[in-house]
């Protein structure tokens, strides 16, 4: 039978746990102070070995795969679409949103004409060169070309009915009947204004053009990526247009933006490290040089760097992939590590200076150990909650 645990009379569980924790960390402090070089060598060696996992480094960056929750409807719908078209190739989709420069309805004569001009340019006249061949969207859209026709049909019909008095087509929403063909408009026109009586469309502030395609091989994928960037550049260059404002987005463009954001943070890492070292060392200085601990503070700031290398290396050894947005994690680890440095320095300052350094190290670790442990457990719990989330990028 197991042994029963009896607490002394008048001692609470909290006091007993505190005493046991203090003694455990104090014994650890005695061992560390007795074998300082052994502790340093083992720590650095283990961190260095684990850091070699960087040889398995693999970067991935796909907003649909990593920033969509596993149980989200969009992921399920995309998987169905990819399964349906898998024999033809990969899916390609670019969205161009158009709004009036003055923020009012787009369904005005001049604005409609300009929007139709933009749609025609993007579909037939915007070309990219690849391996000596020029491609427009109409050259590679295949069976998906009609996905961008809904906007052209709606704008043309609206212009003829409302502004030219031609035709008798009812401009209903979210679908419109054009000579017996039902066209779904809810994916293309937004912020729609309907007539209170007839419920027919009178205005719309945003119109989106969807450009779909399927790339059967890597060559066409490269062509579509070039065209995608050309559309984005065209949208940027049209920002000063007096009539329309254009915005372009796609899975590829958003993924590149996420990567760019992460990469731009990298140069800030050494700057942040330098600032933290200066701050930590400066705040550890005392008028009494014996009580000042600048070297200890600086080494304490460098310790989290070992943990960054060891933790990332371990994950790479285990086959985890790297997302560019994760470059913010070292900043978080550095902040946690520096917090522990101040705790250790504070506890050291409150030890008895008359004791031997070995005893002072033991007392310091005995006092600081519980605080550092609680902080570590809290962070571990936070990260564990992150692991349980359905979004791969957070996991």
> What is the pTM assigned to this prediction?
0.74
The pLDDT tens digits of the residues spanning 251-277 come to: 889 888 888 888 888 888 888 888 888
Contact 243, 111 (CB under 8 A): yes
Mapping DSSP to helix (H, G, I), strand (E, B) and coil, where does residue 221 land? helix
Distance of alpha carbon 140 from alpha carbon 213, whole angstroms? 7
Distance of alpha carbon 277 from alpha carbon 260, whole angstroms? 27
Mapping DSSP to helix (H, G, I), strand (E, B) and coil, where does residue 119 land? helix
Phi/psi of residue 361, each to 5°?
-65, -40
Return per-residue pLDDT of the chain as tens, 395 residues. 445 555 555 557 767 777 888 888 889 889 988 999 999 999 999 999 999 999 999 888 878 778 878 888 878 877 787 777 776 778 888 999 999 999 899 999 899 999 999 999 999 999 999 988 999 998 888 878 877 788 888 898 888 887 666 667 788 888 888 777 788 888 889 999 988 887 888 889 999 999 988 888 888 889 999 999 999 999 998 888 889 999 999 988 988 888 888 888 888 888 888 888 888 888 888 877 777 888 888 888 888 889 889 999 999 999 888 888 888 888 888 888 888 888 888 888 888 888 988 999 899 988 888 888 888 888 888 888 888 888 877 77
Per-residue model confidence (pLDDT) at position 349: 86
Distance of alpha carbon 144 from alpha carbon 142, whole angstroms? 5
Per-residue model confidence (pLDDT) at position 293: 84
Residue showing tokens 């083992």? 42
Contact 25, 372 (CB under 8 A): no
Distance of alpha carbon 235 from alpha carbon 231, whole angstroms? 6
**Nearest Cα residue to 305 out of 341, 281, 279:** 341
Distance of alpha carbon 352 from alpha carbon 47, whole angstroms? 33
Q: Is 100 exposed, middle or buried (0-12, 13-18, 19+ CB in 10 A)?
A: buried
Q: Which residues pair with 224 in a beta bridge?
A: none
In this structure, the number of other CB atoms found within 10 A of the CB of residue 314 comes to 14
Strands across the sheet containing 244-250: 189-194, 201-215, 90-100, 244-250
Contact 211, 94 (CB under 8 A): yes
Contact 269, 331 (CB under 8 A): yes
Per-residue model confidence (pLDDT) at position 1: 43
* Alpha-carbon torsion angle 216, 218, 223, 227, nearest 10: 80
Contacts (Cβ under 8 Å, ≥6 apart) of 129:
135, 226
Per-residue model confidence (pLDDT) at position 10: 53
Pairing label, strands 127-130, 133-136: antiparallel
The pLDDT tens digits of the residues spanning 151-181 come to: 888 898 888 887 666 667 788 888 888 777 7
Domain boundaries, the chain: 13-62+266-387, 88-259
Q: E strands of the chain, at which residues?
A: 90-100, 127-130, 133-136, 175-178, 181-184, 189-194, 201-215, 244-250
Contact 188, 154 (CB under 8 A): yes
Distance of alpha carbon 347 from alpha carbon 291, whole angstroms? 12
Per-residue model confidence (pLDDT) at position 162: 73
């Amino acid at each position: 039978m197991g042994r029963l645990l009896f607490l002394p009379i008048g001692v609470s569980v909290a006091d007993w746990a505190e005493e046991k924790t203090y003694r455990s960390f104090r014994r650890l402090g005695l061992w560390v102070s007795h074998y300082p070089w052994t502790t340093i060598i083992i720590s650095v060696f283990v961190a260095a070995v684990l850091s070699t996992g960087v040889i398995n480094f693999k970067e991935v960056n796909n907003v649909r795969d990593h920033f969509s929750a596993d149980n989200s409807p969009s992921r399920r719908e995309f998987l169905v679409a990819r399964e349906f078209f898998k024999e033809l190739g990969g899916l390609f989709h670019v969205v161009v949103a158009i709004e009036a420069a003055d923020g009012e309805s787009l369904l005005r004569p001049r604005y409609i004409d300009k929007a139709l001009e933009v749609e025609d340019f993007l579909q037939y006249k915007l070309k990219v060169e690849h391996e000596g061949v020029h491609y427009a969207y109409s050259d590679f859209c295949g069976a998906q070309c009609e996905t961008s026709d809904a906007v052209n049909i709606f704008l043309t019909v609206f212009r003829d009915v409302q502004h030219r008095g031609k035709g008798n087509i009812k401009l209903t929403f979210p679908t419109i009947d054009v000579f017996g063909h039902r066209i779904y408009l809810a994916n293309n026109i937004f912020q729609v204004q309907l007539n209170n009586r007839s419920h027919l469309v009178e205005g719309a502030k945003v119109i989106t053009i969807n450009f779909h395609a399927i790339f059967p091989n890597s060559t066409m994928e490269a062509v579509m990526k070039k065209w995608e960037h050309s559309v984005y550049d065209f949208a940027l260059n049209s920002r000063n247009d007096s009539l329309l404002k254009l915005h372009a987005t796609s899975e590829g463009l958003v993924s590149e933006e996420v990567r760019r954001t992460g990469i731009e943070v990298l140069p800030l890492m050494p700057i942040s490290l330098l600032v933290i070292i200066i701050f930590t060392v400066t705040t550890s200085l005392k008028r009494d040089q014996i009580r000042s601990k600048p070297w200890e503070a600086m080494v304490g700031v460098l310790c989290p760097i070992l943990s960054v290398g060891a933790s990332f290396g371990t994950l790479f050894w285990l086959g985890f992939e790297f997302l560019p947005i994760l470059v913010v994690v070292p900043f978080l680890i550095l902040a946690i590590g520096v917090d522990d440095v101040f705790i250790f320095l504070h506890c050291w300052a409150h030890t008895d200076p008359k004791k031997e350094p070995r005893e002072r190290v033991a007392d310091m670790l005995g006092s600081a150990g519980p605080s550092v442990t609680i902080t570590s457990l809290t962070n571990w719990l936070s990260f564990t909650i992150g692991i349980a989330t359905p979004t791969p990028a957070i996991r």
